Amino acid sequence: MDGFVESMQKSGQSLEILYHPILNAATAILLHNFYKDAMQKPPFSLGQLSAKMHPMGYMLILCDELKEWNREAYGVLDKQKVLVADSDIIVTADILSIHSITFEKTLSLEYPNWYELTDSLKYSNIREARTYFEKLAKIRCVALANDNGREEMQEFTYEQIEMLARDEHNSWYDERKQNGWVYGDEKDSVKKISPYMIPYDKLTEKIKELDRDAVRNIFPLLKNIKLKIYKA
C-alpha cells in the first residue's frame, strides 16, 4: 500500500481521485454482508436491493451466489453446510431469480423425526403431499412409473412454478384458516398468528421462494417413490 501511495505522489496524482472508487467498493461489501440478514429486517425493513441504484453491491451478491455452484467442500465445518449441486437461473425483463438446487447424495441433510412433529405440521405435510397430483393436473401433467409413450418432463417452467406456488400458498392459507389461524405482524404458533396469512402477491420474495421450493421439490420427492412426471 505504501508503494502505491508513493507511486501516486510521484505521478502527481491526488489520492482524492480514489475516494469514490473506495467508497463504492466499501458500500458494495457492506451490502453484500448485511443487506439480506440485517437491512431487510427491522428497524431498517428495506425492500429488494436495486441493481440500478447499487450495481456493484448487486453484482457482488450475484457473483457470490453463482460461485456456489458445484463447489467442493474441504473444511470440517464447510462439509456440514448445504452444498449446491446445480443452479436454476431465471432471467426476465423484471426478474432475476437464482435457485440453488440440491440432489440426493450431494448433501447429508437431517430432517426432524416425523413422530416428533406437532400435529399441525404433520397435517400440513400431508395436505401438501396430497395436492401433488392435483397440481400436476392443473398444468396438464401426470406422475407415472412408466411413460406409456408420453413425453417426460425434466423441470417446470418459470410460469408453471409461479402458478403452482400461488396455488400452494392458497392451499396453505385455507388450511391454516380452517384451523383457526389469523393474520398478525409477529408469528406465534401457540396463539395461531402468522404474518403470512395474506394474498400471495403481498408476500416478500423470500417467502414466495418457500412456496416455489414446495413446487420444485415435487420432482425429487416423486422420484423417491419411483414416479416420473410426464405431459398428459
Q: Give the pLDDT score at 194.
A: 93
Q: Where are the domains of the chain?
A: 1-67, 68-109, 114-231
3-state DSSP assignment of residue 175: helix
Distance between CA atoms of residues 3 and 116, nearest Å: 62
Q: What's phi and psi for 230, nearest 5 deg?
A: -125, 155
Q: Does residue 213 carry a pLDDT above 50?
A: yes
pTM of the model: 0.55
Cell reading at 9: 505522489
Query: What is the per-residue pLDDT across 59-112, written as a single tens digit (0 to 9) for each?
Result: 887 777 666 555 555 555 555 555 565 566 666 666 666 666 654 443 333 456
Over the stretch 173-183, which tens digit does the pLDDT of each residue have? Answer: 999 999 899 99
DSSP assigned state of 115: G
pLDDT of residue 30: 84
Q: For the purposes of burial, counting CB atoms within 10 Å of the CB of 161, is it exposed (0-12), middle (13-18) or buried (19 or more)?
A: buried
φ/ψ region of 226 (left if φ > 0, alpha if ψ in -120 to 50, else beta) reads left
Instruction: Identify which of 207, 208, 229 has the alpha carbon closest to the alpha carbon of residue 218.
Output: 229
Q: Is the pLDDT of residue 140 over 80?
A: yes
The three three-digit cell numbers of residue 231, written as one number = 405431459
Concatenating the DSSP letter of every residue in 33-68 gives: HHIIIIITSTTT---SPPTTT-HHHHHHHHHHHHTT
How far apart (Å, rounded) are the C-alpha atoms in residues 74 and 57? 28
Tell me the C-alpha distance between 144 and 91, whole Å.
31
Average of per-residue pLDDT across 140-166? 90
Higher pLDDT, 126 or 35: 126
Q: What is the mean pLDDT of residues 146-158?
A: 86
> Quick one: pLDDT band at residue 37, thresholds 50, 70, 90?
confident
125 — pLDDT class (breaks 50, 70, 90):
confident
Mean pLDDT within 1-21:
70
CA 212 – CA 105 distance, rounded (Å): 22
Measured distance CA(169)–CA(198) in Å, rounded: 9
